Amino acid sequence: MVARHYIVKGRVQGVGFRYFTRRLAAELDIKGWVKNLEDGAVEVHGEGDENPMEQFLSKIKRGPSLALVQEVEAGEVRPEGYQGFSIEW
């Protein structure tokens, strides 16, 4: 199990990015959360097995069709043991 924290920048709010991320997490069995930040970025915390987490990052870098991801900052963090994946407000 690995845990990663991402800050996704670009046109990522108002384009369904959080819902895209939640659906993707369900498909890949990734736990954690996603939320919008006041500066227009999106913050993501994901926990899962290494291979699905790599797929998760790859797809987050593209985002949903209306998004324009310009940058993804990624870092390793300690797993917190989430049981599902939620959209935070």
Give the active site residues: 18, 36
Token representation of residue 44: 């993501």
How many CB atoms sit inside 10 A of residue 12's CB?
Answer: 27
DSSP state of 29: T
* Residue entry with tokens 């997490």: 25
